[in-house]
Amino acid sequence: MDQGRDRQIALIVAGPTCSGKSALALTLGERFGGTVINADSMQVYRELRILTARPSPEEERQLPHRLYGISPAVKARSVAWWRQQALVTMDEAWQAGRLPILCGGTGMYLRALTDGLAEVPDPGQEARAEARQFSADPAALHARLTEADPETAAALKPADTQRLARAWEVWRGTGHGLAWWRAQPGLPAAPCRFIAVRLAPDRAELRQAIAARFSNMIARGAVDEVRALLEPGLDSALPAMRAHGVPEIAAALRGEITLAQATEQAVLATGRYTKRQTTWFGHHPLATENDTVIFENRITSSEQYMERKYDKIISFVHERIDAARSGA
């Protein structure tokens, strides 16, 4: 990661699902004149406001929020697509004299900006269709990929349907595996200096928060949200159809499990995902050590205790922005 790119400054608020990133980004945006830019792969889909915990309309009116709910669920959006949208949006923020605040838990999105991205050609419709067909049996697909592209397959879990399908379509459509493409010169990092605030709350605290939030989502209409998503008969391999809570609630709507069972399964799946997120962020820094702060609490509210925590983060961001502007 080359942090000599200090022509402009951007702030990253990253961490696992349900750690309070959106609330923190809103506070920092108000303090530093920011534009909050979504860096969550599921919050780009307009049909999934409740289950993806998108900022509320009221929060979005408090200051500019961008790249939230901008794509229909029928589209499978990629890292490269998001990167291009984010670069344009960051430039618009700078032109308006605002601080881009990239907020989300999709590490590959953020890393596509901080470290650049391998440019993989479009594999084509035929390869995508074959990958969707094979993804009905993830274990068999993993075996196929192991034979065709062992280097990429070795890095993927046999149950990771989405990444397996992507790896297969790339190999099938381009003749090279993802690992090969990632080793080629690719798209550059964003031309700016990043300051990163990473949330890393206690796992037990996070599990409790996930359970409480999912129950609240059910109360706010998550079941109806999934029912509407299912109505057009979208391909089950689409990313939006695998958002946390969607497969479980869909199973409940089909009568395969109860809503209580769906809730329990969704909470467990989300908890496992947050563990993977935390591990990933721990191994992939998004800024230099001096420009990174790790906050080991969940952002919960604006009560006095949390305000003291906010003050520490605000002081850090203020200090690093000043350092960046002075060339330090």
Quick: pLDDT tens for 47-81.
Answer: 999 999 999 999 999 999 999 999 999 998 889 89
pLDDT at 292 over 90: yes
The rounded distance, in Å, linking the Cα atoms of 41 and 52 is 10
- Residue 152: the pLDDT is 95
The mean pLDDT value for 107-116 works out to 95
Amino acid of residue 222: A
CA distances from 151 to 92, 111, 140, 307 (A): 39, 21, 17, 48
Summarised one tens digit per residue, pLDDT across range 237-249 is: 789 999 999 999 9
Residue 105: Cβ within 10 Å count: 26
- Residue 310: the pLDDT is 81
**Which residues belong to the annotated binding site for substrate?**
17-22
pLDDT at 257 over 60: yes
pLDDT at 3 over 50: no
Tell me the pLDDT band of 306, cut-offs 50, 70 and 90: low
pLDDT at 278 over 70: yes
Can you give the pTM of this predicted structure? Answer: 0.85
Tell me the pLDDT band of 128, cut-offs 50, 70 and 90: confident
pLDDT at 2 over 70: no
Tell me the pLDDT band of 107, cut-offs 50, 70 and 90: very high
The rounded distance, in Å, linking the Cα atoms of 235 and 328 is 50
Domains along the sequence of the chain with CATH: 9-117+188-206+276-326 (3.40.50.300), 125-182 (1.10.20.140)
Nearest to 244 by CA among 219, 272, 220: 272
Q: In sequence order, what are the residues at sequence separation of 6 or more whose Cβ sits closer than 8 angstroms to the Cβ of residue 147?
A: none
pLDDT > 90 in the chain, percent:
76
The rounded distance, in Å, linking the Cα atoms of 262 and 254 is 11
The mean pLDDT value for 277-289 works out to 95
Place of tokens 């989405």: 162
Q: In sequence order, what are the residues at sequence separation of 6 or more whose Cβ sits closer than 8 angstroms to the Cβ of residue 252?
A: 223, 258, 259, 261, 262
> For residue 178, what is the enclosing H or E element?
helix 178-182
Q: How is the beta sheet containing 65-66 ordered, strand by strand?
A: 65-66, 34-38, 99-104, 9-14, 193-199, 292-295
* Range with lowest mean pLDDT among 99-113, 119-133, 268-282: 119-133
- Residue 305: the pLDDT is 53
The rounded distance, in Å, linking the Cα atoms of 244 and 249 is 9
Tell me the pLDDT band of 142, cut-offs 50, 70 and 90: very high
Summarised one tens digit per residue, pLDDT across range 35-52 is: 999 999 999 999 999 999
- Residue 4: the pLDDT is 42
**Which residues belong to the annotated binding site for ATP?**
15-22
pLDDT at 269 over 60: yes
Place of tokens 């996930």: 210
Is 252 within 8 Å of 259 (Cβ atoms)? yes
Q: 292 forms bridges with which residues in the sheet?
A: 196
pLDDT > 70 in the chain, percent:
96
- What rounded mean pLDDT belongs to the chain? 92
Q: Nearest 5°: phi and psi at 185?
A: -55, 135
**Which residues belong to the annotated binding site?**
15-22
Q: In sequence order, what are the residues at sequence separation of 6 or more whose Cβ sits closer than 8 angstroms to the Cβ of residue 98?
A: 33, 34, 35, 64
CA distances from 207 to 23, 103, 245, 260, 295 (A): 18, 21, 15, 17, 17
